Structure 1
Amino acid sequence: MRSLILGTSLLALGLSSTLAADKTVYLAAYGGSTETLFKEVIIPKWEAKTGAKVVYVSGNSTDTLAKLRAQKGAQEIDIAFIDDGPMTQAIQFGFCDTVKEETYADLYDNARMKDNKAVGIGIVATGLAYNARMFKEKGWEAPTSWNDLADPKFKGKIAIPPITNGYGLHALIVSAQLNGGGEDNIEPGFKAFEDKIDRNVLVYEPSSGKMSELFQNGEIAMSVWGSGRLKSLADQGFPGEFAYPKEGAVNLLIAACPVVGSDVPELAQDFLKFMTTPEMQSYFAIQKGWGPVNRNVTLTSEQIGALPVGPDRVDKLINIDYTLVNPARGEWTKQWTRRIER
């Protein structure tokens, strides 16, 4: 079946005793700049190390999960690279094999997913991104709390993604938690949006490109966004900064799992371990803005910037229980459309 996807494999470049040169690993992961980084840096280095070949199957987390479901019982994918929410579903559906314990040796505890069925490759913090220049011009203090989303002075100056986007979903859950609810009682979150936050929101924007434009055009002062997204915008010269709310930023774990039924399980495990090495983690941090999951990564203060790096930030991140969220998300989306984005 795989011959339809790949006609030939590369010759071995440095075969180890346990990894065969004529083997091919199928990696399903994000497109865009992530695909570029993998194809230009990560994959060539691993292929040189093992002599094996990697075929990159591009798609977002939803796409990859759909492929796993469609190929159930005859998987072509060996490694699935998925955000933590959909990854929880992949684990529940039985698509993910157990990651070898040795892979976790130098990693933060929150790099483990349920039953070690997936490993974190990078950490993104969901918090408050803001236009530091606008804040200075207005004489505003930097945001310090999720409750700042309800501050009347930001009326019409905030953008939040809808809850079909992970950042928007996090905002809703945290709003519920701060008002006596949580993943198992989301109503306080909806009430907080209806009564306090919505009046300040200019637009519920799902597109990262459009969110960047809103900042650059001076239309918004603040958004609920990811640390990596803000870093990318700031790297272009925008005077943006990222605030970790005192209640905690939310952990968005970029994860990968070895797929059950892979015909190259040892290679899949080796590639997972390779992605968590300090060298590869540095590439993810510097080029993608993902906080390292490996404790031994060394970055300069300029490279760290707003990234979730070090125990002071990483250990304080809020972890979402997706075993409660995923079954309810469809109903939440209906409520969101009816009550918030009406």
Structure 2
Amino acid sequence: MNRKILAATATTVALGLALTGCGLQPAGGGDAPSGDSSAEPKGTVTIYSPRPAAITDEIIPMFEEASGYDVQLVTLGAAEVADRVRAEASNPQADVWWGGTPSLFTPAANEDLIEPWGEPVLEAVKDEYQFDDDKWVAEMLQLQLIAYNTEMMDEADAPHDWDDLIDPTYKDQIIIRDVAASGTMRAIYAAMIARFYEEDGSPDRGYEWLKALDANTKAYAANPEDLYLRLERQEAPITLWNHQDIMAQAAQGAAFDIIEPESGSPINTDGIAKIAGGPNPEGAEAFAEFIFSQETQEWLINNAFQIPTVDVESEPEWLSELTRNELEYDKALVAEHETEWIEYWAENIKDQG
């Protein structure tokens, strides 16, 4: 269902969520978290994260001011973070893994690459969003859905469900973020395969669906910024992405809108974990406690379109307007097979259409 984001954000969110990360201002009553700028330095917290600069460029300085810690931030794709944490297992270099999906965190938990959070963090997050013996917790929920450029396409002409995307009508009308390094795209593609696997006991029909999608795909964007730029340049009108980033771009003036697919959206639990054996476990805990504080969460909801996993006093208009109809599929099945499915796509389907 289309939410008319451009109109909604014009009245409910007056923010500067720029791609450069500059000038983001609180909106909708969410004040930016404040801290003691005179706090003595407490060492460095190293964070690996796929979070966009528009969020990290604001949250990190807030944390540093409030806590007295310095932060070394390394920005990577979600899957790239998992690969780096795994590669450094014998000599961990980071403290916090901020941003990832169950298919990335669960294997890491099974390999003891991440370790349980302390009680202050676990007390803040609802029980249903604590996973794998408390080794990671969900920070937010993300809807994976369809988005389009409103200057190139009317809502009536846009695809309204997943299977619409493989209609030949949309040949060369789709741009997709390159899948392998993206937690969002891996989640969408795995969910599409899982729909058929549950009926057939095989990924083959899902692979055929992805081949048809590839045939309609004009290009694969190297990273999210490349995706937004290509859409704004009107190389093609349609993409698949998450609600949060599309809404942030729309709030900045991009002619983007979202459609919640009629059959439902995969809903990612996007999380945060403490890296086992990291050099500053106390700093990791401090960062997570800061993230889950009421003040920070309300700020993220009002300024970054974040669906929270903690209780908050009120929901802004944009959040209450989302239907949040979830596409049901076997998430355990996806966790077991996602890697092989995405590898097959990369080797046998991508750019073959």
Query: Shorter-chain TM-score category?
Result: 0.7 to 0.9
Change in Cα spacing, 1:124 to 1:317, as seen in structure 2 (3 Å) is: farther
Q: Is residue 123–residue 290 contact of structure 1 (8 Å, CA) maintained in 2?
A: yes
SS across alignment from 2:187: helix
* Structure 1 equivalent of residue 285 of structure 2: 269
Q: Is residue 25–residue 78 contact of structure 1 (8 Å, CA) maintained in 2?
A: no
Q: Once the 2 structures are TM-superposed, how far is the Cα of residue 202 of structure 1 from its aligned partner?
A: 1.7
AA aligned to 2:259 is A
Q: Once the 2 structures are TM-superposed, how far is the Cα of residue 275 of structure 1 from its aligned partner?
A: 0.9
Where do 5+ consecutive residues of structure 1 fail to align?
A: 1-10, 15-20
* Alignment pair present for 1:92 and 2:129: no
* Structure 2 equivalent of residue 27 of structure 1: 46
Q: Is residue 181–residue 188 contact of structure 1 (8 Å, CA) maintained in 2?
A: no
Equivalent position to 2:335, from 320, 323, 330: 323
* Alignment pair present for 1:313 and 2:331: no
Deviations 1:144-165, CA, capped at 9 Å, x for gaps: 3211212333222122234313
Q: Once the 2 structures are TM-superposed, how far is the Cα of residue 316 of structure 1 from its aligned partner?
A: 6.3
* Alignment pair present for 1:38 and 2:56: no
Q: Once the 2 structures are TM-superposed, how far is the Cα of residue 96 of structure 1 from its aligned partner?
A: 1.4
* Structure 2 equivalent of residue 8 of structure 1: none
Equivalent position to 2:138, from 120, 138, 143: 120
AA aligned to 1:44 is E
Runs of 4+ in 1 over 6 A off after TM superposition: 314-319
Query: Partners of 2:127 and 2:170 in 1: how far apart?
Result: 37
Q: Is residue 48–residue 94 contact of structure 2 (8 Å, CA) maintained in 1?
A: no
Change in Cα spacing, 1:129 to 1:272, as seen in structure 2 (3 Å) is: same
* Structure 2 equivalent of residue 189 of structure 1: 206
Change in Cα spacing, 1:217 to 1:62, as seen in structure 2 (3 Å) is: closer
Equivalent position to 1:278, from 270, 274, 294: 294
SS across alignment from 1:213: helix
AA aligned to 1:168 is M
Who wins on radius of gyration, i.e. which is larger? 1
TM-score after normalising by structure 2: 0.73
Where do 5+ consecutive residues of structure 2 fail to align?
A: 1-35
* Structure 2 equivalent of residue 77 of structure 1: 94
Q: Is residue 120–residue 293 contact of structure 1 (8 Å, CA) maintained in 2?
A: yes
Identity across matched positions, percent: 15
Deviations 1:91-137, CA, capped at 9 Å, x for gaps: 1220211124553445455532322211122332211112234443x
Q: Once the 2 structures are TM-superposed, how far is the Cα of residue 296 of structure 1 from its aligned partner?
A: 0.9
Relative contact order (alpha carbons < 8 A, sep ≥ 6): 1 or 2 greater?
2
TM-score after normalising by structure 1: 0.75
Change in Cα spacing, 1:96 to 1:242, as seen in structure 2 (3 Å) is: same
Deviations 1:262-285, CA, capped at 9 Å, x for gaps: 565455334323211222123333
Change in Cα spacing, 1:264 to 1:233, as seen in structure 2 (3 Å) is: closer
Moved more, 57-66 or 253-262: 57-66
Q: Is residue 45–residue 283 contact of structure 2 (8 Å, CA) maintained in 1?
A: no
Equivalent position to 2:311, from 295, 299, 313: 295
Moved more, 226-235 or 69-78: 69-78
Q: Is residue 107–residue 293 contact of structure 1 (8 Å, CA) maintained in 2?
A: yes
Count of aligned pairs between the two proteins: 311
